[in-house]
Amino acid sequence: MDPLMLGALVGIITTLILFCGMSIGIGLLLVSIGFLALFDGLSSLSLVPELFFGKLDSFAMLSIPMFILMGAAVASSRAGGDLYSALDRWMTRVPGGLVISNLGACALFSALSGSSPATCAAIGKMGIPAMRERGFPDSVAAGSIAAGGTLGILIPPSVTMIVYGIATETSIGRLFLAGLVPGLMLTGLFMAWSLFSTWRQGRATAALIPVSYTWRQRFEVLPRVLPFLLIVAAVLYALYGGIATPSETAAVGALACLLTAVVIYRMWQPSKLWGILRDSTRESVMILIIVGGAGVFSYMLSSLYITQAIANSIIAMELNPWLLMLFINLFLLVCGFFLPPVAVIVMAAPILLPVITSAGFDPYWFAVILTINMEIGLISPPVGLNLYVINGIAPEIRLQTILLGSLPYVGCMVVAIILLCLFPGIATWLPNMVMGAAT
């Protein structure tokens, strides 16, 4: 069978299996085993265990459960609420300071947890009721938190960037640096839209009335927040300064966050510690099974010459590079609507990397573009994980209102992608300055 036709058949069957509700990692394994047995013979199945575990046999892979444990330790404490309170108290005199505080808290908590759902839940529990009480529209209150939560997969340390680095064999430290400035830029775009939306809906007078805090109230929350921020700063300094590898910094950061949460929030009970370990283990195993299954899936595509045929056919079309990038973005958007970011990255990145590099695009710049596309999927139906997280913590706000409130932030992400296309240095300047030009 022609490899392109075979690739279309693989795509259709994979989509049907994943839509039936099966685990993504198990679904990819079943599809891979079926096509390998059918077209390469049963003898090829002897490679499946080696391929699955070989994909996970990497020292860099250790950073995934460690960063997840680091985030779980923070998310299981009251750090999110304290972070929000600190920003609210210090920015109360800034026009629209509350919505800026919420988005700023989302950005900072993203750096602590690296998880979009955890960011939405931690900041939304306090931020949404506070914004509604001060007159902010429900759409702004819910939509800003849903969008702010997506920053967790872009602002370092990001688990999705780690997965991309492992899947494409690119530098994880450079990927973290590439995502930092675009993450801050996207946070600024979110803040600008939130303030404009509040003003446009005619409730600025009620919403922007500041609440007074004494200097004592402003300083009393800082001792509970600053240690976590210092841990993140130390982890990133150790990573970028070449002091330690990503896995080593992740392990130290996880231990430091766990001990800090125990000391500051007195989480001495074994049940609370068990909850942190259980949640981080569950999420880590889910991601690692997807990575292992995708490794077998990628081998199947390569063994049947599907990957090579797709790449060669795209290159042979001799499309304008920017037209090619437009099609790739549309493809990633559609994938992000239905699949979690990790699954899209491990399946699509190895196929797309030779295509985008042959077209002259930087792989680290492309990682940021891919990640922002995945962010759009987190606040877009039918999956839209962050929308359901917000609906769960604020059930009085209709899902339709949350969706409508998040759509303008999708526009902000599209603007960010356009800016990155016009000015690639937004993503490449910092890693090139810190680590030198990529070879």
Give residue-wise pLDDT tens across range 222-256.
Answer: 788 788 888 878 887 887 777 888 788 888 888 88
Q: How far apart are CA 189 and CA 180, in angstroms?
A: 14
Largest CA distance in the chain: 74
Q: Residue 207 corresponds to which tokens in the numbers above? A: 């919403």
The predicted model gives 256-265 an average pLDDT of: 85
Alpha-carbon distance of 317 to 111, in angstroms, equals: 41
Q: Give the pLDDT of residue 204.
A: 45
What's the rounded mean pLDDT across residues 207-230?
Answer: 73
CA dist., res. 362 & res. 194, Å (int): 32
Distances (CA, A) of 52 to 10, 15, 79, 255, 286: 19, 21, 37, 29, 14
Task: Output the six-digit token pair for 253.
Answer: 């950061």
User: Running DSSP on this structure, what letter comes out for residue 208?
Assistant: T
Question: Binning pLDDT at 50, 70 and 90, where does residue 427 land?
Answer: very high
Percent of the chain with pLDDT over 70: 92
Q: What type of residue is 299?
A: Y
Q: Report yes or no: 147 and 191 within 8 Å, Cβ to Cβ.
A: no
> Taking Cα atoms as reference points, which of 177, 58, 166, 158 lies closest to residue 118?
158
Q: Tell me what pLDDT residue 205 has.
A: 45
pLDDT tens-digit readout, 45-100 = 888 888 888 878 777 778 888 888 887 777 777 776 777 777 777 766 665 567 77
HEC profile of 118-143: HHHHHHHHHHHHHHHHCCCCHHHHHH
Quote the crossing angle between the two packed helices 270-303 and 48-56, to the nearest 10°: 130
Q: In whole angstroms, what is the distance from residue 362 CA to residue 357 CA? A: 6
State the first-to-last Cα distance of the chain, in angstroms, to the nearest integer. 38
Written as one letter, the residue type at 44 is S
Considering just the CA atoms, what is the radius of gyration of the chain in Å?
22
Closest CA relative to residue 310, chosen from 339, 350, 338, 364: 350
> Helices (H), strands (E): how many in the chain?
22, 0
For residues 174 and 2, the model is more confident at 174
User: Residue 333: what pLDDT?
Assistant: 86
| pLDDT tens digits for range 291-336 | 888 888 888 888 888 777 777 777 777 778 888 888 888 888 888 8
